[in-house]
C-alpha cells in the first residue's frame, strides 16, 4: 500500500471515529434526561450525574426593569467589568472593560491574590466611567458577579466553589464563598460596591435574552440560555415540583432557574464517544475525568483535538515527513506544544475553498509556523470538519432534551421557543448552528407540535444578565 493510500485509510478511520449517527443522538438525549432528573434529586457532589444547581433566581425579566447596575464576569482568561443602564423598554446602554488575567494568578497559591486583582479592576472601571459613584457617602452600586465555575449556591448572594475548571487551579479557593472573597477585597480597597448576586454566565445569558426579547414582536418565549465558547454550559427555568433536592423554596414563586453545569454530562463516559484523541486531551487537563462533555464540544478543546490527531498521523509516518527532515529532525514548537492551536484557526480551515487551500496554508504558517503541502492541508481540513461536526451534533443534545422536558410549562402558550446563545463557537464558527439544528431535528423534541425553536445570539449576555439579577434584589 502506498503512502497516500495509507494516509487515506488513516483519515477515514479518524472520520469514522468522529461520526455520530441518528440512533446515538436519540439514546444520548434519553441519557441526558436521566442525568438531569438525577441531578435535580441528589447533592451536587455526586460525580455520576450533572450538578443541576439551583440559582435562587425565581423569575425571568420582563424587559421593563430600569436603573444603573454593575456586572463583573470571570469566566475564562479575561475579567470583564460592565455597567448596564436598563431603560425599561427591552433596551439598555452598556459600558465595559476587559482585563487579561495574569497566568500566575490563574494557578496561584492564594485566593486573595486573584480576588484582589479583580477588585482593583472594578475600582479602575469606576474611576474611568462612573467617578460620581466613588464619592464618599454616595449610594453603593449593586453588582452581579458572574462566576462561571461550579459552585454550591445556597442563596442569591452565597456560593462556595466546588472545583476549578478551564485553566484555573487555586486550591485554597475550593470550599470558600466567592461572593465574600470579592466583597472583602472591594471593602479593603474602599470601593463603594455591594456584591448582591452570584450568577453563572449561562444564567446571565438566559436573563439577558429574556430582557431583550419582546414576545409581542418575536412571538417566542426564551427558555434556555447557553454558552458554547471557551467552555460550555446551559441554564433553564424549572418548576419547583421537579426540584426535589431544593428544600427551602422561596414563597410566591413557581420555579427557579437551574444552572445545569452540562459540561459535566456523562463524566463516567457511559455514552459519550471517547476516541484516542479525546483520551489524550483529557490527560493533558488539570481536571482529568471531569467535564467530559465540555472537552468534546467547546472552543478550548477543539483545536487541541486536531493538534493531537495531526501528531498521531506524523508519528505513523503519514504527514510532515519532509518538513521533519528539512528541520533536521524536529517539528515546529507550537505544533508539539499543547493548547497552541486555537479553535479560531479551525474556523478558517473549515470553510476554506481557495485553490489548493491556500488560505489554510497561510493561517497554519502564521499561527503554528507550520509549512504544509496541498495534500496535508486536505487532510487537515477533513479532520477539522469531522471534529467540528461531532461537536455541533453533541451540542444539540442538551438543547433538545431540555426543551422536550420543559415544553409542558408552556403548553398554554402558542409562542415558539427561543434559545439565548453566547460564546465564540456558536456565534462565529461556520455552520455550527446549522449542524446543531440538523441534529436537533433528529432528536425531534417537539413531535406533533407546530412550535419552532430559534437560536438567538444574546450579545454581552453574561454581563447584562448579572446586572439584571442585581436589579431584582431588595
Q: Catalytic residues, which ones?
A: 148, 163, 201
Single out the residue of 75, 29, 16, 4 nearest to residue 298, CA to CA.
75
Q: Return the H-helix or E-strand segment holding 142.
A: strand 141-147
Q: Residues 235, 261, 278, 172: is their CA dihedral positive or negative?
A: positive
* C-alpha of 234 from chain center: 8
Q: Tell how many helices (H) and how many strands (E) occur in the chain.
A: 18, 13
- Are the CB atoms for 120 and 79 separated by under 8 Å? no
Q: Return the H-helix or E-strand segment holding 239.
A: strand 232-239
Q: Where do we find the cell 471557551?
A: 230
How many whole angstroms separate alpha carbon 416 and alpha carbon 213?
12
Determine the longest span between alpha carbons in the chain, in angstroms: 81
**What 3-state DSSP class applies to 284?**
coil
How many whole angstroms separate alpha carbon 396 and alpha carbon 128?
42
How many whole angstroms separate alpha carbon 260 and alpha carbon 150?
10
Single out the residue of 245, 294, 256 nearest to residue 37, CA to CA.
245
- Are the CB atoms for 84 and 69 separated by under 8 Å? yes
Q: What angle do CA 433, 438, 444 make, to 5 degrees?
A: 120
Q: What does residue 420 show for φ and ψ, rounded to 5 degrees?
A: -80, 125
Q: In this structure, what C-alpha cell is assigned to residue 27?
A: 439514546
Amino acid at each position: 500500500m502506498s503512502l497516500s493510500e495509507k494516509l487515506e485509510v488513516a483519515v477515514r478511520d479518524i472520520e469514522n471515529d468522529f461520526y455520530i449517527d441518528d440512533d446515538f443522538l436519540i439514546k444520548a438525549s434519553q441519557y441526558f434526561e436521566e442525568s438531569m432528573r438525577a441531578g435535580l434529586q441528589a447533592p451536587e457532589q455526586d460525580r455520576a450525574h450533572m450538578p443541576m444547581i439551583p440559582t435562587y433566581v425565581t423569575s425571568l425579566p420582563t424587559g421593563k426593569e430600569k436603573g444603573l447596575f454593575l456586572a463583573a464576569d470571570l469566566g475564562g482568561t479575561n475579567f470583564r467589568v460592565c455597567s448596564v443602564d436598563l431603560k425599561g423598554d427591552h433596551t439598555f446602554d452598556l459600558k465595559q472593560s476587559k482585563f487579561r488575567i495574569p497566568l500566575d494568578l490563574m494557578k496561584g497559591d492564594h485566593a486573595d491574590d486573584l480576588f484582589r486583582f479583580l477588585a482593583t479592576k472594578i475600582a479602575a472601571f469606576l474611576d474611568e466611567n462612573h467617578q460620581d459613584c466613588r464619592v464618599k457617602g454616595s449610594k453603593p452600586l449593586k453588582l452581579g458577579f458572574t462566576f462561571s465555575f461550579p459552585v454550591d449556591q445556597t442563596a442569591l448572594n452565597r456560593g462556595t466553589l466546588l472545583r476549578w475548571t478551564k485553566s484555573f487551579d487555586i486550591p485554597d479557593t475550593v470550599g470558600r464563598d466567592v461572593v465574600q472573597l470579592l466583597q472583602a477585597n472591594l471593602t479593603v480597597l474602599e470601593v463603594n460596591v455591594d456584591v448582591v448576586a452570584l450568577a453563572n454566565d449561562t444564567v446571565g445569558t438566559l436573563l439577558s435574552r429574556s430582557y431583550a426579547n419582546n414576545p409581542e414582536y418575536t412571538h417566542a418565549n426564551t427558555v434556555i440560555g447557553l454558552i458554547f465558547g471557551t467552555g460550555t454550559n446551559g441554564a433553564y427555568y424549572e418548576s419547583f415540583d421537579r426540584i426535589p433536592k431544593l428544600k427551602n423554596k422561596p414563597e410566591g414563586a413557581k420555579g427557579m432557574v437551574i444552572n445545569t453545569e452540562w459540561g459535566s454530562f456523562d463524566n463516567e463516559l457511559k455514552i459519550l464517544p471517547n476516541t484516542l484523541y479525546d483520551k489524550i486531551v483529557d490527560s493533558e487537563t488539570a481536571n482529568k475525568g471531569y467535564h467530559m462533555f465540555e472537552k468534546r464540544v467547546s472552543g478550548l478543546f477543539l483545536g487541541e483535538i486536531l493538534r493531537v490527531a495531526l501528531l498521531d498521523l506524523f508519528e505513523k509516518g503519514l504527514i510532515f515527513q519532509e518538513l521533519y527532515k528539512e528541520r533536521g529532525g524536529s517539528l515546529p514548537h507550537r505544533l508539539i506544544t499543547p493548547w497552541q492551536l486555537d479553535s479560531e484557526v479551525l474556523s478558517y480551515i473549515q470553510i476554506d475553498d481557495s485553490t489548493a487551500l491556500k488560505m489554510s496554508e497561510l493561517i497554519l504558517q502564521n499561527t503554528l509556523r507550520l509549512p504544509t503541502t496541498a495534500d496535508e492541508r486536505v487532510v487537515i481540513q477533513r479532520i477539522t470538519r469531522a471534529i467540528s461536526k461531532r461537536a455541533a451534533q453533541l451540542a444539540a443534545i442538551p438543547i433538545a432534551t431540555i426543551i422536550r422536558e420543559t415544553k409542558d410549562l408552556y403548553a398554554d402558550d402558542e409562542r415558539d421557543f427561543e434559545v439565548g446563545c453566547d460564546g465564540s463557537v456558536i456565534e462565529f464558527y461556520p455552520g455550527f448552528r446549522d449542524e446543531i439544528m440538523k441534529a436537533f431535528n433528529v432528536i425531534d423534541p417537539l413531535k406533533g407540535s407546530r412550535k419552532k425553536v430559534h437560536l438567538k445570539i444574546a450579545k454581552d449576555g453574561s454581563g447584562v444578565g448579572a446586572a439584571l439579577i442585581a436589579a431584582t434584589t431588595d
